[in-house]
Structure 1
Amino acid sequence: MRRRVIPDIAGQAGAILVTLAGLLILTFVIGRIMPTDPVRAIVGEDATREVYENVYRQLGLDRPVWQQFFFYVRDVLTFDFGTSIRTGQPVLQDIARVLPATVELATFAIVIGAGLGIPLGVAAAVNKDRWPDHVIRIASLMGHSMPIFWTGMIALLIFYAGLGWVGGSGRMSQFYIGLVPERTNFLLIDSALAGQWDVFRSAVNHIILPASLLGYSSSAYITRMTRSFMLDQLNQEYVTTARVKGLSRNKTIWRHAFGNIKVQLVTIVALAYGSLLEGAVLIETVFAWPGFGQYLTSNLLIGDMNAVMTCVLVVGLIFIGLNLISDILYRVFDPRTR
Structure 2
Amino acid sequence: MGFLQNGRGLASYLVMPNTFQARRFIVLGSMVSLLLLIALWNQFSVDGPTRPAGTRLAQGPSTPTGKRPNPFTNPLDEVRQTPASIRQDPLCSFHPDTSKIAVVMKTGATESFARLPTQFMTTLRCIPDYLVFSDRKETIAGIQVMDTLDAVLPKAMEGNADFDLYRVQASCAIDQGPCTSALDRAEMGWNLDKYKNIHMAEKTWKMLPDKDCVALLGDIAFAHGGSGYLMSRAAMKDLIGGHPGLANRYDEDMHNYCCGDAVFAKAVRDTIDVNVTGVWPTINGEKPFTLPYGDSHWCHPIATMHHMSPEEISTFWEFETQFYADEAAEASRKDADKFVPSPSSPRISIENSSPPDFFPGATTGTT
Q: Which has the higher helix share?
A: 1
* Greater C-alpha Rg: 2
TM over 0.5: no
Give 1 or 2: higher strand fraction.
2
TM-score category of the 2 structures, normalised to the smaller one: under 0.3
TM-score by length of 2: 0.21
Choose between structure 1 and 2 for higher RCO, CA contacts under 8 A separated by at least 6 residues. 1
